[in-house]
Amino acid sequence: MNKRNHYPAEFKTKVVLEVIQEASTVNEIAAKYGISPVVISRWKQEFLERAAEVFKKGPSDAEKELDKQQRHVAELERKVGQLTYEVDWLKKNLSKLSEPTGRKSFVDRDNPRISVKRQAQLLSINRSSVYRRISEQKTLSDAELFVMRRIDEIHTGEPTWGYRTITTILRRDYGLLINRKRVRRILRDMGIYTIYPKPNLSKRYHSQYIRPYLLRKLEINRPDQVWGIDITYIRMKKGFMYLFVIIDWYSRYIVDYELSSTLDKSFVLSCLKRAMSHRKPEIINSDQEGHFTNPDYILLLESAGVKISMDGRGQCLDNARVYPELCVNFKIDER
């Protein structure tokens, strides 16, 4: 197969002009340049058809099309620039509007055009925390709920039993085929911890926020001298809720409380802010659980002039004496 030749526009114009001048025949010109007479005739026809464009006022059709495309590209670039500016503005003001825990509620996991990863980037929040929130909010199966309810009942009756004993009871009394790893995972997801002294309940990266225990040998003789706070879980028909309670140690009065479907720290902070807007304690005592060793919690109390007390490591029963009757009775009545 012969390779097709490509000729520049200047060469085609030169050949066509020679044909138009009629100084030589088409065959002679074809022989001169080694080109087929048919090709030269086609070039001449194209030349004459488009010759009128030279005398038209304004740009040619090709130039118009090129200009149209250039204007379209410029408009797209303008829109991209505007969107980039707006996204930067949104991210900047979102960071001022609310803390990351509040911005997580904006994530739409069912959005077909923006992935969860991209939404997390736009909202300036950690992607892993978004996935964790989604997993916490997922619908539980009836089988999973049945297991969780049985575990909750067992723990409510005997809070000193660990996951090994609970696994044995689930197998023996309920005929469930369940292993220890699954029971341990469910206990962790439900926020259930065996009540017995154990070493170093706090995480290392929270150690800088741990405060000393201030209630040893302290005589508590007036309201609002000491508040105790803690988090427990409550069984619901379709899952579990988490209950944060503030109790006055002197009167045993419930100062405030708040329920949440997740263990997000925001419901703890909002409840404390609401309670302290009406009353102010001298000391707030808690355990060393993660909600009470995070910088937002520490900053809230210190800025309000409240002293922070925490149960010693391995002494989870210090603060628990305020809550057993409330929490256990609540769960038994709910059943």
Instruction: List pLDDT tens digits, range 266-282.
Output: 889 999 999 999 999 99
Q: Are 256 and 89 in contact (CB under 8 A)?
A: no
How far apart CA 239 and CA 190 sit, in angstroms, is 10
> What pLDDT does 306 receive?
94
Cβ contacts of residue 245 below 8 Å, gap of 6+? 229, 230, 231, 232, 254, 257, 323, 326, 327
Cβ contacts of residue 209 below 8 Å, gap of 6+? 293, 294, 295, 297, 298
How far apart CA 266 and CA 285 sit, in angstroms, is 19
State the average pLDDT over residues 186-204. Answer: 61
Tens digits of residue pLDDT in 36-90 = 888 888 888 888 877 766 666 666 666 777 888 888 888 888 888 878 876 776 7
Kind plus residue range of the DSSP H or E element containing 244: strand 239-248
Name the pLDDT band for 201 (thresholds 50, 70, 90). Answer: very low
Burial of 163 (0-12, 13-18, 19+ CB in 10 A): buried
State the average pLDDT over residues 153-182. Answer: 88
> What pLDDT does 110 receive?
65
Q: Are 231 and 268 in contact (CB under 8 A)?
A: yes
Cβ contacts of residue 68 below 8 Å, gap of 6+? none
Q: N- to C-terminal Cα distance for the chain?
A: 89
How far apart CA 88 and CA 7 sit, in angstroms, is 52
State the average pLDDT over residues 277-305. Answer: 90
State the average pLDDT over residues 17-34. Answer: 82
Strand ranges of the sheet holding 254-260, from the earlier edge strand across to the other edge: 254-260, 239-248, 226-236, 283-286, 307-310
CB atoms within 10 A of CB 315: 16
CB atoms within 10 A of CB 321: 10
Residue pointed to by tokens 């049985």: 150
Cβ contacts of residue 45 below 8 Å, gap of 6+? none
Name the pLDDT band for 196 (thresholds 50, 70, 90). Answer: low
Residue 23: C-alpha distances to residues 28, 34, 37, 188 (Å): 10, 18, 16, 99
Instruction: Measure the CA angle with vertex 7, ends 6 and 13; round to 5°.
Output: 150
Contacts 24+ apart (CB under 8 A), 234-238: 234/259, 234/330, 234/331, 234/334, 235/148, 235/149, 235/152, 235/331, 235/334, 235/335, 238/140, 238/145
- In the beta sheet, which residues pair with residue 308? 284
What's the sign of the alpha-carbon dihedral 289, 188, 180, 155?
positive
Residue 22, SS3?
coil
State the average pLDDT over residues 245-269. Answer: 88
pTM: 0.43
Q: Are 225 and 200 in contact (CB under 8 A)?
A: no
